[in-house]
């Protein structure tokens, strides 16, 4: 008798199609996830027992002066150097064209000797106008949330805690307006960090600097309060400290990054999609369902508490609140089956807004750290767009038809499809949008829009093939070299699923804010508060463990693992809304 042996089916994670994932509006609906850089960093800090201590805190009664924080990791020592100065209200601007800020700071590799400190003090406050030291890994600046800052100082100096409700609108005392890395203005190149065990992940050095600024902001308000009324002043309640984040104000300056780094964007999105696919493959237990319900309820309360000024975002958040109720009801009622998560996401795709769908995906990923967290080491890539000169031109044409069909379908004869052009202004090279045909500067347009370039390339290739049907790519390029960079990009990116954002960046209805949110979500931002379709305020590290908690080296690192969607602490009882929400 022949025994039939059937091997268990090898399950492969099924990734969502690029046409779905790379839609700009969907990308503009992403929330931070456990793969976001701020989350990865806090886990790394806790796991590796980083120690952060204040080496210098020389501020006057108004909080102006210098502070230095030492960061000790198992592999190296770094210092965050912070300069605080008086800033006239009229000078306070979040635009890149500003020339002065309340606080400027940098992250230094190694120790800060006197000579280095002198150089840093001369240059960091100047930011772009300074010549920065090559041992600096990051430079940045931040402006006060004036209202929050004044109210916090006033309350603490009088011996009371500031009203927590203030933080519903702006959950921070400072908001950064630019965080520079990778060689900007003379600081260290990112290439130097490739072998650095602490900061080889993208943006981890930047997030570290921002995390330390959060601690400084707490210490500074307490310091000013003590100087104002030494006898009555109190420290900020620990729940409020934890609920404080660092804000960030981001404009169009961030947008070119998303287009100019397609391989990096592919890594980020691919890791997130892999995480989602792995999570959906898991067979859920009753415990898993309970945990997802807990996360959904917490997110629900987080959105209920969130106040944003933008009416469109307010209605998006309202939809999330309503839809999360539906998700909770669905989860409570449905029987557990092996493909429950697939059922959930299928139902979500049909029934929920993009914002709710992607929120649900981010929460689902939270359930499976063992499967997901290894992906955080796959977020970086050596970026190089290379030509394949010997590719037959007819094959290149097919590649465009297959991978850039979305670009070929755009009608660029329609003025609506060509409405905007992107350029850099002489004012600090600020990226701006101009109306084609109505504003000056189109001859200096940045080639950020991939769709029209892909379509022009396709037409030129098709024409050339009429005369030279057996031509190679290099032969076409020798005749028409201006297509070299776009062909290099098309050939390289054809091997990746998620690098190209599928949108016509010239289109009148294109919303740049979706580009900004895409990157901000991977950095780990929350509380998206658009100020226009080109400008957004967000908050980082709200709810994250404090430096003192890190230095205690707790055996239980759960607080370092899960601090997303933090809930507002209670004003009076001391019992947090987070605790109430889980009851």
Partner 1 sequence: MMNVSFNELQGLSRKAFIGIGFSDGHADDAADMVAWMESFDLHGLEALNAGLQHLMEEDPDTLPQILYQDGDLAVIDGQDLSVLRSSNLALELAFAKARARGLSVIKIRRCRQRQLIMGYLARLAGRGMNITAFWRNAQIPLTEQVVGFRANSSAPSIRVYSVEEVPEENEPNSGITIVMANHVDLLPTMRSDFRYDLLAKHEESDLMAVRDRAMVNGIEVEVSLWERLKVLAHMTLVASSAVSSRGAGEED
Residues near partner 1 (CB under 8 A) = 93-95, 131, 134, 182-192, 249, 251-252, 384, 386-387, 389-390, 423-427, 429-434, 439-441, 444, 447, 472, 474, 477-478, 481-486, 488, 531-535, 537
Nearer to partner 1, 54 or 307 (CB): 307
CB-CB contact of 513 with 536 (8 Å): yes
CB-CB contact of 353 with 320 (8 Å): yes
CB of 190 to partner 1, least distance (A): 7
Query: Distance (Å, rounded) from C-alpha 511 to C-alpha 379?
Result: 26
Query: In 3D, which of 115, 23, 351, 80 has the Cα closest to residue 215?
Result: 80
Nearer to partner 1, 76 or 186 (CB): 186
* CA 337 vs CA 14, 205, 324, 404: distances in Å: 18, 43, 21, 38
Query: Distance (Å, rounded) from C-alpha 37 to C-alpha 43?
Result: 10
Nearer to partner 1, 100 or 321 (CB): 100
Convert 17-41 to b/e letters by CB count within 10 Å (16 or more is b): ebeebbbbebbbbbbbbbbbbbbbb
Nearer to partner 1, 235 or 441 (CB): 441
The single-letter DSSP state of residue 477 is H
CB of 502 to partner 1, least distance (A): 21
What DSSP line would sit under 496-509, residue for residue? -SS-S-BS-TT-TT
Nearer to partner 1, 278 or 494 (CB): 494
CB of 69 to partner 1, least distance (A): 23
Nearer to partner 1, 242 or 511 (CB): 511
Nearer to partner 1, 384 or 583 (CB): 384
Query: In 3D, which of 34, 114, 9 has the Cα closest to residue 291?
Result: 34
CB of 11 to partner 1, least distance (A): 35
Cα 355 to chain centroid distance, Å, stands at: 16
CB of 412 to partner 1, least distance (A): 19
Instruction: Collect all residues with Cβ–Cβ distance below 8 Å to 573 and sequence separation of at least 6.
Output: none
Place of tokens 């991939």: 450
Exposure of 497 in the CB half-sphere (CA atoms within 13 A): 15
CB of 350 to partner 1, least distance (A): 35
Nearer to partner 1, 431 or 545 (CB): 431
Cα 65 to chain centroid distance, Å, stands at: 30
The single-letter DSSP state of residue 91 is G
Nearer to partner 1, 191 or 437 (CB): 191
CB of 179 to partner 1, least distance (A): 15
CB of 36 to partner 1, least distance (A): 24
Query: Distance (Å, rounded) from C-alpha 241 to C-alpha 550?
Result: 14
CB-CB contact of 400 with 460 (8 Å): no
CB of 246 to partner 1, least distance (A): 16
Query: Which H or E run contains 325?
Result: helix 311-333
Query: In 3D, which of 144, 139, 114 has the Cα closest to residue 220?
Result: 144
Nearer to partner 1, 289 or 537 (CB): 537
CB-CB contact of 94 with 143 (8 Å): yes
CB of 225 to partner 1, least distance (A): 28
CB of 513 to partner 1, least distance (A): 9
Cα-based angle 359, 362, 366 (whole degrees, multiple of 5): 135
Coil vs helix vs strand at 280: helix
Query: Distance (Å, rounded) from C-alpha 124 to C-alpha 102?
Result: 12
Nearer to partner 1, 64 or 92 (CB): 92
CB of 384 to partner 1, least distance (A): 8
Nearer to partner 1, 222 or 529 (CB): 529
């Amino acid at each position: 008798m022949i025994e039939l042996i059937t091997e268990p089916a090898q399950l492969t994670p099924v990734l969502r199609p690029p046409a779905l994932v790379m839609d700009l509006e969907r990308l503009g609906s992403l929330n931070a996830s456990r793969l976001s850089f701020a989350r990865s960093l806090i886990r790394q800090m806790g796991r590796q027992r980083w120690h952060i201590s204040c080496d210098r805190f020389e501020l006057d009664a108004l909080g102006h002066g210098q502070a230095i924080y030492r960061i000790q990791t198992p592999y190296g020592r770094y210092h965050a150097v912070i300069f605080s100065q008086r800033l006239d209200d009229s000078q306070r601007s979040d635009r890149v064209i500003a020339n002065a800020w309340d606080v400027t700071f940098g992250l230094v590799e190694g120790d800060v000797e006197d000579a280095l400190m002198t150089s840093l003090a001369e240059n960091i406050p100047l930011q772009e106008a300074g010549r920065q030291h090559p041992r600096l890994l990051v430079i940045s600046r931040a402006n006060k949330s004036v209202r929050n800052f004044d109210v916090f100082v006033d309350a603490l100096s009088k011996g009371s805690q500031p009203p927590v409700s203030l933080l519903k609108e702006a959950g921070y005392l400072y908001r950064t307006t630019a965080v520079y890395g990778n060689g900007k203005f003379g600081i260290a190149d990112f290439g130097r960090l490739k072998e650095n065990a602490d900061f080889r992940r993208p943006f981890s050095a930047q997030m570290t600097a921002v995390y330390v600024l959060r601690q400084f902001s707490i210490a500074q308000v307490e310091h000013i309060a003590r100087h104002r009324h030494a006898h009555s002043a109190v420290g900020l309640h620990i729940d409020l400290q934890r609920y404080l984040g660092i804000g960030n104000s981001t404009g169009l300056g961030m947008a070119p990054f998303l287009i100019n780094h397609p391989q990096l964007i592919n890594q980020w999105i691919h890791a997130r999609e892999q995480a989602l696919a792995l999570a959906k493959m898991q067979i859920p237990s009753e415990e898993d369902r309970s945990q997802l319900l807990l996360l959904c309820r917490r997110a629900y309360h987080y959105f209920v508490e969130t106040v944003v000024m933008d009416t469109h975002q307010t209605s998006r958040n309202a939809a999330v609140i309503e839809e999360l109720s539906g998700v909770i009801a669905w989860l409570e009622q449905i029987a557990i089956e092996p493909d429950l998560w697939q059922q959930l996401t299928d139902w979500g795709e049909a029934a929920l807004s993009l914002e709710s769908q992607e929120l649900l995906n981010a929460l689902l990923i939270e359930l499976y750290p063992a499967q997901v967290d290894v992906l955080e080491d796959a977020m970086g890539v050596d970026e190089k767009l290379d030509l394949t000169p010997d590719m037959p031109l007819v094959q290149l044409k097919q590649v465009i038809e297959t991978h850039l069909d979305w670009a070929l379908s755009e009608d660029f004869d329609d003025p609506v499809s060509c409405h905007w052009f992107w350029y850099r202004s002489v004012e600090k090279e600020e990226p701006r949008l101009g109306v084609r045909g109505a504003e000056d500067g189109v001859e200096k347009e940045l080639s950020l829009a991939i769709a029209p370039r892909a379509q022009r390339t396709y037409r030129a290739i098709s024409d050339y093939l009429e005369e030279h049907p057996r031509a190679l790519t290099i032969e076409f390029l020798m005749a028409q070299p201006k297509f070299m960079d776009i062909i290099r990009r098309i050939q390289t990116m054809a091997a990746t699923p998620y690098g190209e954002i599928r949108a016509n960046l010239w289109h009148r209805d294109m919303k740049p804010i979706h580009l900004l949110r895409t990157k901000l979500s991977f950095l780990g931002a929350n509380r998206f508060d658009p100020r226009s379709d080109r400008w957004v305020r967000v908050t980082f590290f709200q709810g994250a463990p404090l430096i003192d908690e890190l230095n205690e080296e707790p055996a239980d690192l759960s607080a370092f693992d899960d601090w997303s969607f933090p809930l507002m602490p209670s004003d009076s009882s001391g019992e947090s809304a987070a605790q109430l929400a889980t009851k």
